[in-house]
Chain A
Amino acid sequence: MSGEILRVDNLWKSYSETPVLRGVSFEVLRGEVKVIMGPSGSGKSTLLRCINLLVRPDKGRISLEGKEVFPKPYDSIHRIRQKIGFVFQSYNLFLHMTVLDNVRVGLIKVKKLSKEEATKRAMEALRIVGIGPELWNKYPAQLSGGQQQRVAIARAIAMEPTIMLMDEPTSALDPELVGEVLNVIRDLAKQKMTMLIVTHELDFALEVADEIMVLDGGKIVERGKPSEILNNPKHPRTRRFIERLRRRVEHGHR
């Protein structure tokens, strides 16, 4: 199946007079992985949060599978959000729930599945992200950052979203834990999960992205094939930004 999953048209958002998004437009097709890069403050997080309506845009149009989400949602906001998986930089697991409960709470409360069915699906999702049964009854605080982020990914994919939004999924991790999370995302990409990922992992982006969009000052300043953007950036801002990222990697800082 091909087709357009997400379309964003001329999206604008300001926070008390400060413009954060200034006319952003793009689309994501089924099975595509698109990566957004850009310096901090460029509006990446706001853009993702506008798409699942955690932040209300000021102007523009968003549609999901051809149906309007903003400004006139075709359904209630919480039903639309069920179709959009979101992975946060700081995992945001529910601290009072075990790993298993974190993954199945949405299935039980939101999707109204039976406990057995929800548990089955949650276990499946946890297997996909490589979290074994020995961790299912642990609490988030007892896990490493990499494990927590993988549980967060499982929580999102268990809902069977039509698209996954990831907001710097590895930025909060210790360097040695980044790989395990990227591997999970790589697997999802292989299984043709539609994803929109904000990341600064250059090698990873080069490998999985169908397209990279560079956001700066609330606008997409450059977009194209990963190899073009990363090896031969046209826009001077993109060039400076990519160079800075390269230097960070060489010096071992992330």
Chain B
Amino acid sequence: MIFINIKVIEEYGPIILSGLNKTAILTVGGFGMGFAFGSILAFTQCFGGRISSRVATAIEESLRSIPLLVLMLLIFFGLPEVGLSLTPVQSAILAIGLRSMAYQSQILRSAILAIPRGQIEAALSLGMTKAQLFTTVIAPQALRIAIPGLVNQFTIDLKDTSIAYAIGVSELFTEAVHVAQVALDYLTPLVFVGAIYFVITFAASSIMSRVYKRIAIPGLGASQ
């Protein structure tokens, strides 16, 4: 292909790939944080009292309304003003995690609401406590229903780790830009990282769709 210079890839490919490490840390850290806090947020919205569920909704909506880039810069440059200095990696994880939390709470909330209300009544009628109801009836079904949405969010988080370029985290995209500046060739490194993002996203999606099919249960969202 005319716009790709194989020599650049041969020479600088390993340098670009060295950014994978940070990309993985940001993705897993951000998504994991998003899942942990997103679950709490979703649970609060569905089962919390009126005030706590409103607070949860307010948190969710405000985080969804701020561009990730702005959020990340605010965390990185703003938090030191209140005495909390985070490293670029920590700032990036926090920003990606907060944004992911807002979206994951929406995904999980709609999954929880998709469980027929009657099952909750049935579980309570058996004498289950709220905790037992959650772990044995709600969580196993809500997670199955939520998987496609969560996988989608995972791939969004993965691709958005590239925004950490703005605060100098040496992840995949940052490395590619650095290589571009040194090699005086922008196209090759960008096509190269684009392909890497594509491969990882594609692999993650197909692995998860297999998992999804494996744990599918007839009659429950996951079976289609």
Query: What residues of chain A have their CB less than 8 Å away from a CB belonging to chain B?
Result: 49, 52, 54, 78-82, 84-86, 88, 90-96, 105-106, 109-111, 139-142, 152, 155-156, 159
Contact = CB atoms under 8 A, between A and B. Distances in A.
Q: Looking at chain B's contact residues, is the secondary structure mostly helix, strand, loop, or mixed?
A: helix
B8 interface: no
B140 A96 contact: yes
B29 to A, nearest CB: 30
30 contacts: A49-B121, A52-B125, A78-B128, A81-B125, A81-B126, A82-B127, A84-B125, A86-B125, A88-B122, A90-B118, A91-B118, A92-B118, A92-B122, A94-B123, A95-B119, A96-B140, A96-B141, A96-B217, A105-B136, A106-B126, A106-B128, A110-B127, A110-B132, A139-B217, A139-B218, A141-B217, A141-B220, A142-B219, A152-B122, A155-B122
B86 interface: no
Given A93-B119, A142-B218, A159-B126, 20 more contacts: A78-B124, A78-B128, A79-B127, A80-B127, A81-B127, A82-B126, A86-B122, A94-B119, A95-B116, A95-B119, A96-B140, A96-B217, A105-B136, A106-B127, A106-B128, A109-B128, A109-B136, A110-B127, A110-B128, A139-B220
A147 B126 CA distance: 20
B129 to A, nearest CB: 5
Nearest to B222: A96
B144 interface: yes
Contacts of A140: 219
A94 B144 CA distance: 14
Contact of A54 (B116, B125, B140, B217): B125
A141 B219 contact: yes
A251 to B, nearest CB: 29
Interface in B195-224: 217-220, 223
Given A81-B127, A110-B132, A159-B127, A93 B220 contact: no
Contacts of B73: none
Contacts of B126: 81-82, 105-106, 110, 155, 159
Contacts of B144: 96
